[in-house]
Chain A
Amino acid sequence: MDNLYRDFILEHYRNPHNKGLLEPHDLHFADSNPTCGDELSMTFVLDSAGEHIADVAFDGRGCAISQASASILTDELRGMSLDEAREMDPKDLLEGLGVPIGPARLKCALLSYKVLQGAVRGGETAWPEEADVV
Chain B
Amino acid sequence: MNLTLKIWRQKDADTKGKIEAYKVSDISEHMSFLEMIDVLNEQIINEGGSPVAFDHDCREGICGMCSMVINGKPHGPSDAITTCQLHMRSFNDGDTIFIEPWRANAFPVIKDLIVDRGSFDRIIQAGGYVSVNTSGNTIDANAIPIPKEDADTAFDAATCIGCGACVAACKNSSAMLFVGAKVSQLALLPQGQTERTERAKNMVAQMDKEGFGACTNTGACAAECPKEISLENIARLNREFMKASMVGN
- The finding on whether chains A and B are genuine partners in a shared complex, rather than unrelated, reads no
Give me the interface of A with B, judged by CB distance under 8 Å: none
Give B contacts to A, CB under 8 Å: none
